[in-house]
Amino acid sequence: MRKPLWIWVAVGVFVPLIFQGLWWVLLYFPKIDSAIGLELMYVMIALWPSSIMLLPAGSDANLYLAALLASVAINVVVYLVVGIAVRWIAKQRRSNRSDDLYREG
């Protein structure tokens, strides 16, 4: 795997960890939670779509941990696919530009 794809994998891991940390902080500060909780949830679902898997876990710590690990793994795959698509599109654009330059020259 090339270096840019590792960046996508790292983002796929760290995005869920950052959101999980934010939610743990918001649990200790309920006033903040009521003010930004809904907006944070929308952003979280957009950037960490597999976080929905955590809902059925409820207060069962073992089930929550298993769901969290599975959700992070799925998120890594999603971000990796996005990274591959971005790289492929960039490669296509570069090859189209070089073809155009070749035709003009």
- Is the pLDDT at 100 greater than 60? The verdict is no
Collect contacts of 1-8 with beta carbons under 8 A, ≥24 apart.
2/87, 4/83, 4/87, 5/80, 5/83, 5/84, 5/87, 7/83, 8/79, 8/80, 8/82, 8/83, 8/84
Model pLDDT for residues 42-61, shown as the tens digit of each residue: 899 999 999 998 888 878 88
Q: Which two tokens stand for residue 77?
A: 């795959």
| % of the chain surpassing 90 pLDDT | 49
Average pLDDT over residues 63-72: 94
Residue 37 exposure: Cα atoms within 13 Å on the Cβ side: 13
At 74 the pLDDT is 96
Domain ranges of the chain: 3-104
pTM (global) more than 0.85: no
